[in-house]
Chains A and B, each alone.
Chain A
């Protein structure tokens, strides 16, 4: 049992070995950890490190690369985000003349970078303030829809959608003193404090996400590494969890859990936006991937399921008596519709079929309804206890029917395709592939039980692709985002096999690879939509319950593009630190001539200093191998506050083992704080066409995102046909196009406006290169 030669050697006495075995099987309980402490300490350390360690740009072997291996831990923290605590100093006038400092909270993030995008913003106050007036005075730039609430003395600002990455934000508010009784009303009270003369303004910058890869990362089993893990919450405080398309987590929690801003500050209970039923025992919440509760969505709710395109969820909600409603809510917690009412407690989540149909089980029968509550499909199939799973690519549903597992095709009423007896753990990939397992009967010896893994590639018959080792069973399948591999839970049945854990196996059944540390009892893995995190449960032996965890997952990526980006990082670090020699070392003769000829400014024009940059696009050059076009956005700051930016399109050419900058084109300089801006542009191959994804920094007026305001033009300036959609959760406009190899231009006009009606300050354009 010990499996440790050192211990085997040390403890020969069977009684000692029994103690050692118990110790090996009994890990101490995970210590209580404030999830924000880790990020807070990191930020402090990095500030200190930047002050005490040499500047990166001064070294010729500057090591920063954008490889996922290096970025993974940082980006996971980044992706997870952290509670934003703003430090402010509040001065209130005492009487008519003297100013007196009555409150100061200095744990802030003013001028902080790398602030997470998915977290509430908490502003602690220690002095008496007029809460209503202060909340009403909050203004956030770029334009961001927020709700504000008070938790004790903390003002909690909750963005309606995750903040934009790579964006400098400002939050201003007026710290107004609490109206107090006049001396006439209460002679003991001192004179009423007056309003502070000027608003408090706090600036911070959100995190830099990974640069959209030139070649999509591969999630093949051998190339994905497990990073670090973190527990979402204590065992028993999250009962179910599932991803939203935007990378947040929908959870079912016992009633009465704490809300945003309540940790580590004053405790407070959630304030439901509706009235929970008296017998409700659970609520549905939106959480960040770090476990920070963002908002209560469904009081009295359970088993939420996110709509495939985001924005809506379906969940059960306790109603009168023993009745339970199946409803649809938006991510602000507003109910949109009730589609069904059933009697009794549901035991599984509803399942979205596309954007407009929902499947659920009531009294052992399958029902499919549209968003008006009308039954569709005409089937009331008897079902077992297994999983329902809907394909994201077509209206098909895998069902553990009582008469045997089947695929129900809603395009043809009554169309059923039988699956092998015992098929379970259905999982559909983004491409419409179906995977499932069949547990092999172990009628004579449970210890030899194992599982068959089947995959049905879209439109093809299912095939057995792998068999688990004897003594291990597989379950809980989850496809990688690119549909190249499956993550699954493995359980030992013979007591001598490998410990329970997670396994990655390629879609063709090849290369099963352990994922994560051994000896942890993992179950129910779920890839995040972007693939950078995995959500799973892990049993805590010491506490005796299961907890939800996330772990970072890093796929392999294109090394050539990463090398080119690393050179850009060296180049930009040198420019930001004002090291002209180091910057020029990254240029070839043509590149040097371009800068000297005035194509752009190497170190900032007229004494302006560059403060920050980030890559916007990375594309291979259409016709030339080993040439990349990298777009970078460069910011200038005044008095520590970013005031303007411009973009450069850098052409990098491979020269030996490295890349040098061969050409540059610069955009005009734009002032910040005047309307929305484009944060990044990404071209994604979606055969037979492409998607051009344009991220903005502001909450936009959806009606201004049209094919007239965002366009792709060909080399002749002709507008290409495009279907334009908008995702407010991600400030994302997507153009579905069919482009032949060549060079195009993305144009975003000043017709795009934010929710305050401010238009783009200037038309934005960026080159798009489509490779053959």
Chain B
């Protein structure tokens, strides 16, 4: 994890120095691509979203001001917006609050993942969570972000993020296939 002062210095330099911007790109590409992919589950689309994120960051970096949160929070925000823009383009306005619930056809999930290991199954289940819950879960459990940072990325309070995480875990617990539950004990 980059030192905060070093990161701030790098970001400030990147407002005027292409090489510094390149260093930011090198530093944050893996997590932004990974996060984009977790949201769209399509390699080509994840590439498009990642491209858009960094080009938007380049266009707007002069307006970026340090707010006490890591620079990556800003990139995550742009990623979420880019993903939302994509789905709006496909399906019209998308409700980014509570989306659809886990499929009632739990057997379908089981069928889909029966050949895979336990880890893959639980992440497949996370993929089925409502969008905000899924984003919070990915940021917490895949990207190791702090709750305060997740709140900033999602534009919510810390309490709301805790609620999202809690609901997501409760839902996973209730609706995971039985063999995973066995594995939990």
Interfacial chain A residues near B29, Cβ < 8 Å:
38, 41-42
- Residue A772 is within 8 A (CB to CB) of chain B in the complex: no
Contact (Cβ within 8 A) A41 B50? yes
In chain B, positions 166-183 with a C-beta closer than 8 Å to chain A are 166, 169-170, 172-173, 176, 180, 183
Q: Please choose the segment from A47-55, A735-743, A762-770 that sits at the chain B interface, where 4 or more of its residues have CB less than 8 A away.
A: A47-55
Contact at B26–A228, with CB atoms within 8 Å?
yes
* Complex interface: stretch among B52-60, B67-75, B76-84, B97-105: B52-60
CA gap between A542 and B120 in the complex, in Å: 5
A33 within 8 A of B: yes
Chain A 226-254 interface 0/1 with B at a Cβ cutoff of 8 Å (1 = within): 00111000000000000000000000000
> A8-43: which residues lie under 8 A (CB-CB) from chain B?
10-11, 15-16, 18-34, 37-38, 41-42
B157 at the interface (CB under 8 A from A): no
Chain B neighbourhood of A52, CB < 8 A: 58-59
Main secondary structure of the interface of B (DSSP, over half): helix
- Using a CB-CB cutoff of 8 Å, which residues 135-158 of chain B contact chain A? 137-138, 140-142, 146-147
Asked if B18 and A32 sit within 8 Å, CB to CB, the answer is no
Q: What's the Cα separation between A41 and B46 when bound, in Å?
A: 13
Taking CB atoms, residues of chain B closer than 8 Å to A33 are 33, 43
Q: Which residues of A contact B162 (CB under 8 A)?
A: 10
Stretch at the interface among A70-78, A369-377, A415-423, A691-699: A70-78
Q: Decide yes or no whether B66 CB sits under 8 A from chain A.
A: no
Is A544 an interface residue, CB under 8 A from the partner? yes
B18 touches A46 (CB 8 A): yes
A409 within 8 A of B: no
Complex contact B23–A74 (CB within 8 A)? yes
Q: Contact at A22–B37, with CB atoms within 8 Å?
A: no
* Other-chain residue from A23, A32, A64, A73 in contact with B141 (beta carbon distance below 8 A): A23
Is A31's CB under 8 angstroms from B16's CB? no
B149 to chain A, nearest CB (A): 11
Q: Is A56 an interface residue (CB 8 A)?
A: yes
Question: A38 vs B17: C-alpha distance in the bound complex, in angstroms?
Answer: 20
| Smallest CB gap from B127: residue in A | A28
* B173: contacting residue among A15, A34, A42, A230, CB under 8 A: A15
A559 to chain B, nearest CB (A): 16
Please tell me if the beta carbons of A22 and B18 are within 8 angstroms of each other in the complex: no
**What are the residues of chain A within 8 A of B95 when measuring CB–CB?**
none
A56-B18 Cα distance, complex, nearest whole Å: 8
Q: Which of A31, A37, A64, A70 has a CB less than 8 Å from the CB of B38?
A: A31
Residues of chain B lying within 8 A (CB to CB) of residue A32: 37, 43
Q: Which residues of B contact A24 (CB under 8 A)?
A: 141
Is A718 among interface residues, defined by CB-CB distance under 8 A?
A: no
Residue B111 at the chain A interface, CB threshold 8 Å: no
The smallest beta-carbon distance between A541 and chain B, in angstroms, is 5
Q: Is A99 close to B, CB under 8 A?
A: no
Within 8 Å CB of B173, what residues of A? 15-16, 19
Given A18-B185, A41-B51, A49-B58: A31 and B46 within 8 A (CB)? yes
A residues less than 8 Å from B25 (CB atoms): 41-42, 45
With both beta carbons as reference points, the residue of chain A lying nearest to B165 in the complex is identified as A10
Count class of interface residues, chain B: 35 or more
B112 at the interface (CB under 8 A from A): no
Check A6/B146 contact, CB under 8 A, given A19-B172, A228-B30. yes
Does A543 sit at the interface, judged by CB under 8 A? yes
Write the chain A residue with the least CB distance to B26: A73
Are A22's CB and B27's CB within 8 A? no
Please determine whether B58 and A54 come into contact, CB atoms closer than 8 angstroms.
no
Interchain nearest-CB distance for B168 vs A (Å) = 9
Chain B, range 1-57, C-beta contacts under 8 Å to A: 13, 15-23, 25-27, 29-30, 33-34, 37-38, 43, 46-47, 50-51, 54-55
The answer, yes or no, to whether A59 is at the interface (CB within 8 Å) is yes
Is B96's beta carbon under 8 Å from chain A?
no
Asked if A63 CB lies within 8 Å of chain B CBs, one says: yes
Q: How large is the interface on A (under 10, 10 to 19, 20 to 34, 35 or more residues)?
A: 35 or more
Contact of A74 among B22, B141, B183 (CB under 8 A): B22
Residue pair B16, A53 in contact (C-beta under 8 Å): yes
Residue from A11, A25, A31, A63 within 8 A of B166 (CB atoms): A11
- In angstroms, how far is the closest chain A Cβ from the Cβ of B133? 13
Chain B proximity of A42: nearest CB distance (Å)? 6
B169–A20 contact, CB under 8 A?
A: yes
Q: Which residues of A contact B16 (CB under 8 A)?
A: 53-54, 56, 59
> Is B26 in contact with A77, judged by CB distance below 8 angstroms?
yes
Contacts of B185 in A (CB 8 A): 18
B114 interface residue per 8 A CB criterion: no
Q: Is B122 an interface residue (CB 8 A)?
A: yes
Residue of B nearest to A9 (CB): B162
B120 surroundings in chain A (CB, below 8 A): 29, 542-543
Verify B184–A22 contact, CB threshold 8 A: yes
In the complex, how many angstroms separate the beta carbon of A293 from the nearest chain B beta carbon?
A: 19
Whether A544 and B21, one on each chain, are in contact in the complex, defined by CB atoms closer than 8 angstroms, is: no
Q: By the criterion CB–CB under 8 Å, are A16 and B169 in contact? A: yes
Q: Are A23 and B47 in contact (CB under 8 A)?
A: no
- Min CB gap A723→B, angstroms: 40
Least CB separation from B20: chain A residue: A63
- Are the CB atoms of B46 and A45 closer together than 8 Å? no
A549 to B138, CA, bound (A): 23
- Is B93's beta carbon under 8 Å from chain A? no
Set of chain B residues within 8 Å of A228, measured between Cβ atoms: 26-27, 30
Nearest CB on B from A614, distance (A): 14
Q: Is the CB of A26 within 8 A of B34?
A: no
Once the chains bind, are A22 and B23 in contact (CB under 8 Å)? Answer: no
Give Cα A694 to B96, complex, Å: 60
A31 to B166, alpha carbons, bound, how many Å? 26
Beta-carbon nearest neighbor of B146 in chain A: A6
Residue numbers in A under 8 Å from B59 (CB-CB): 52
User: Contacts of A15 on B, CB cut-off 8 Å?
Assistant: 173, 184
Task: Looking at the assembled complex, report how far the CB atom of B143 sits from the nearest CB atom of chain A, in whole angstroms.
Answer: 10
A16 touches B170 (CB 8 A): yes
Contact in complex: B18, A49 (CB < 8 Å) = yes
Cα-based distance from A7 to B54 in the complex (angstroms) = 31
B118 within 8 A of A: yes
Distance in angstroms from A11 CB to nearest chain B CB is: 7
In the complex with contacts A19-B172, A37-B47, A544-B184 CB distance below 8 A: no
The distance in angstroms between the C-alpha atoms of A196 and B67, with both chains bound, is 58
Residue of A nearest to B62 (CB): A53
Q: Are A542 and B19 neighbours in the complex by a CB distance under 8 Å?
A: no
CB-defined contacts of A56 to chain B, threshold 8 Å: 16-19
Max count, chain B CB within 10 A of own CB: residue among A7, A15, A45, A52: A45
6 further interface pairs, Cβ-Cβ under 8 Å (given A7-B140, A11-B169, A26-B118): A15-B184, A19-B184, A41-B29, A49-B22, A56-B17, A74-B19
Instruction: Identify 6 residue pairs between A and B in the complex whose beta-carbon atoms are under 8 Å apart, listed by A's number.
Output: A6-B146, A41-B51, A44-B51, A52-B59, A56-B19, A77-B26
Nearest 4 CB-CB pairs, A to B? A73-B26, A26-B119, A31-B37, A49-B18
Chain B contact residues, CB within 8 Å of chain A: 13, 15-23, 25-27, 29-30, 33-34, 37-38, 43, 46-47, 50-51, 54-55, 58-59, 117-120, 122-123, 126, 137-138, 140-142, 146-147, 162, 165-166, 169-170, 172-173, 176, 180, 183-185
